[in-house]
Amino acid sequence: MYNDETNYTAYNSEPQPQPQPQLTKKGLRAMRKAQRIERKASQPKKKNWFVRGIAMVVCAVLLGGVAGVACYGVSYAGYSLFPIKNDSQTESSAKTTTTAAQLGNVNANKDITATVYDVSDIVDSVISSVVAINGEYTQEVNYGWFGSQTQKATVSGSGIIIGSTDDELLMVTNAHVIDGVENLAVTFYDGSKVSVEVKNKKSSYDLAVISAKLSDIPKDAIYTIATLGDSSQIKVGEAAIAVGNSMGYGISVTTGCISALDKTVTVDSTEYNNLIQTDAAINPGNSGGALFNAQGEVIGINSVKMSTTGVEGMGYAISISSVKDIINELSTTDSRKQLDDDERGYLGITGVSITSQISQTYGYPVGVAIRSITKDGAADKAGLIKNDIICSFDGETVETIDSLVELMKYYAAGETVKVEYYHMNSSGEYEKTSTSVTLTSNPEK
């Protein structure tokens, strides 16, 4: 029977002495052996450092192997997913081809080719077809209360050798590179230098062709004629190589890719179309230089760089296919030299620019609106009147008064040229017409 009082007393009473058992010698030995075993069991075990060291080495090897496989996988995927096409003629290229199915691409029938390459072989074959252009222009410096003063300043740009005749070497560049520039000269990649003349230009396309007399070129000069490619076949993401006279320091190379096609950019109220956008660095002095593809063909003429704060890698080149006919036209005309003031021909007008922006806002045709006419001057004798808008001079599109003044620096007094202009009819609408104008000498003299 369960007894609460008995249990409580048993847990709280003092212990009663018990008689000690008597041990024999055999029992004593057994007790001491048990005590030794107990003491040994209670002592901490010694660590086996040799075994632990081997385990750590094995773990490190395993972790290193896993990391190596991971790095290889990332690199392999990167080269496979973001290929760069190489020059098919570069013998040193190392090609790696991976099928789309291996990459998990839904289009398993399309192969993706990844190629690692350098552009040194391509550059070696094309760099001598690009020249550095240098010259001088007169600028007016305003000193505030102390008045203003004119002084000479240097200008630099680039050009592409596009061909030769029996006595001339022909080069194409941007019109803005040579506008108003005197003492023009080009320097070949090997350092040889020669004077050049402006053959012709079209400011509306920002193109000009310059020429050097073969007899003036040093006999040891090294140069090659560039191969003009087909820019209508290029794709976004293809390799792009820009070559030019960056910052006027001599011919240099930058690389990148084709970022976009058929872009439109407006510079100084002039709109340029069919431009190629690239992230290959285009800096001051690169204007007029070449944009090559991976086959060493010219696909563009470097012209403009977006230089707004926060913008990087936005350069633009004129698509070569869109201007081949214009380049050929400019190349076949007679070379023109910039004339002194007393030799130049004059229209005898004052005018203002009707830019594309003004045209869109107010509906006027783009060109130069005549504000006043010198009596018995060239324009007056040709029948032009106030408010007529000149849009073309000798086949060259005219959009600003500055471009018209610059263009006429190459025409002598007494020359007859065709001038196209808009005239407002009795209905208040502008009609395009043309007339022949015989230029006169400076009316102020």
**Per-residue pLDDT tens digits for 396-425:** 888 889 889 888 888 999 999 999 999 999
Tell me, yes or no, if the pTM score tops 0.95: no
Q: What's the CATH code of the domain at 413?
A: 2.30.42.10
Q: What residues contact 345, with CB distance under 8 A and at least 6 apart?
A: 378, 408, 411, 412, 413, 414, 415, 439, 440, 441
**Catalytic residue selected from 204, 287, 331, 392:** 287
Q: Do both 104 and 131 map to the same domain? A: no
pLDDT at 56: 73
Residue 225, in any domain of the structure: no
Bigger pLDDT: 53 or 209? 209
Q: Do both 324 and 238 map to the same domain? A: yes
Q: Is 42 a catalytic residue?
A: no
Q: Is 176 a catalytic residue?
A: yes
Q: How many structural domains does the chain have?
A: 4
Q: Which domain holds residue 279?
A: 231-331
Q: Is 220 a catalytic residue?
A: no
Please report where in the chains the tokens 């003036």 appear, as a residue.
216
Q: In the listed set 331, 364, 397, which residue is the last one of a domain according to the structure?
A: 331
Q: Do both 141 and 94 map to the same domain? A: no
Q: State the Cα–Cα distance between residues 208 and 310, nearest whole angstrom.
A: 32
Q: What is the DSSP letter of 19?
A: P
Closest Cα partner for 212 from 191, 193, 189?
Answer: 193
Q: State the Cα–Cα distance between residues 91 and 85, nearest whole angstrom.
A: 14
Report strand pairing: 148-164 vs 298-305. Answer: unpaired
Q: Model confidence over 366-393: pLDDT tens digits?
A: 999 999 999 999 999 999 999 999 999 9
**At 34, which amino acid appears?**
A
- Residue 304 main-chain phi, psi, to 5 deg: -135, 145
Going by pLDDT thresholds of 50, 70 and 90, the confidence category of residue 71 is: low
Residue 31, in any domain of the structure: no
Q: Do both 239 and 327 map to the same domain? A: yes
Average pLDDT, the chain: 80
Q: In the listed set 100, 117, 134, which residue is the last one of a domain according to the structure?
A: 117
**Catalytic residue selected from 158, 176, 211, 259:** 176
Residue 322, in any domain of the structure: yes
Percentage of the chain beyond pLDDT 90 is 48
Q: Model confidence over 6-35: pLDDT tens digits?
A: 343 333 444 444 455 555 566 666 666 666
pLDDT at 88: 46
Distances in whole angstroms, Cα of residue 45 to Cα of each of 34, 53, 77, 150: 19, 17, 51, 96
**At 13, which amino acid appears?**
S
Helix, strand, or coil here: 40? helix
Bigger pLDDT: 171 or 5? 171
Q: Do both 210 and 192 map to the same domain? A: yes
Q: Do both 113 and 136 map to the same domain? A: no
**Catalytic residue selected from 206, 279, 388, 394:** 206
How many C-beta atoms surround the C-beta of residue 104 within 10 A?
7
Q: Model confidence over 311-331: pLDDT tens digits?
A: 667 899 999 999 999 999 899
